Amino acid sequence: MTEHSQCRITIQNLYKSYSTAPDQQTQVLEDINLDIHAGDFVSVIGHAGCGKSTLLRLLKGLEQHQQGQILIQGKQPAEHLPNLSIVYQDHRLFNWLSVTENIRMALHQIPLSKEEENRRIQEQLELLQLTPFKDAYPSHLSAGMNLKVAIAKSLVTQPDILLLDDPFAGLDALMRHHLHEELQRIWKTKKITVILATQDIAEQFSSRDAG
Ligand SMILES: Nc1ncnc2c1ncn2[C@@H]1O[C@H](COP(=O)(O)OP(=O)(O)OP(=O)(O)O)[C@@H](O)[C@H]1O
Ligand SMILES: [Mg+2]
């Protein structure tokens, strides 16, 4: 192995295009190279349509690229799903389930005892300061609170890597700032690798700035 053996995620010479019309390909990602170490916090910043979500979907193994490679601890993304979680901009919560039951949904494919399920959910409720809202429904909570529920849901599977696809878009400036700080606190507490896609230059925090 090369120097990449210490990297959690290695992206090399990555190209991705979409077929946008007969005989027409639109190049979205071109010669992307990136090494992300275990425990890094990386912000991917760019204007609308530059390919941030595409990059995260490729990392999650939801799409295929045309050239280059993505390796997550030496494996292709599609082989690596269990320890990689993604939070989407629209949160994707179930309105008919409580906060607790929304978080529990993330565990339905993991064989755990009821006690362990409840312990993990409780841990996330505490980490995200959601305990007072554990029985509330998403439609009764603010957008920022729902985002916290979505983050709790993504963390309850105990991922090594958390992908966040522009999760703060649409929130007011104060809430964005507060949640960005919360995210950094969680990253430091859980010691996971975080990749945050955003259009907001103010969210350009990265662990290599953190010292
Ligand atoms: N399935 C698809 N078919 C064709 N074109 C697509 C598809 N998905 C994305 N694109 C195009 O690829 C480009 C990158 O899209 P992407 O959603 O990755 O951008 P983004 O940086 O996440 O934008 P935003 O900041 O608005 O979320 C856009 O021009 C988009 O229209
Ligand atoms: Mg996007």
Q: Look at residue 6 in the predicted model and tell me its pLDDT.
A: 53
**Helix or strand (DSSP H, E) at 112:** none
- Work out which ligand 1 atom sits closest to the CA atom of 199: 25
Up-side HSE of residue 134: CA atoms within 13 Å toward CB? 14
Break the chain into its structural domains and give their ranges: 38-60+82-210
Instruction: Evaluate whether 193 touches 40 at the Cβ level (below 8 Å).
Output: yes
Up-side HSE of residue 164: CA atoms within 13 Å toward CB? 29
- Work out which ligand 1 atom sits closest to the CA atom of 20: 4
**Looking at the domain that runs over 38-60+82-210, which CATH code has it been given?**
3.40.50.300
Q: Look at residue 175 in the predicted model and tell me its pLDDT.
A: 82
Q: Is the CB of 98 under 6 A from ligand 1?
A: no
Q: Look at residue 57 in the predicted model and tell me its pLDDT.
A: 94
10-residue stretch averages of pLDDT, the chain, 211 residues long: 60 94 91 94 92 95 93 82 82 93 93 95 94 97 92 93 90 84 88 90 61 44
Assigned token pair, 4: 């990449």
Q: What is the dihedral of CA 173, 174, 179, 185, to 10 degrees?
A: 120
Q: Look at residue 191 in the predicted model and tell me its pLDDT.
A: 87
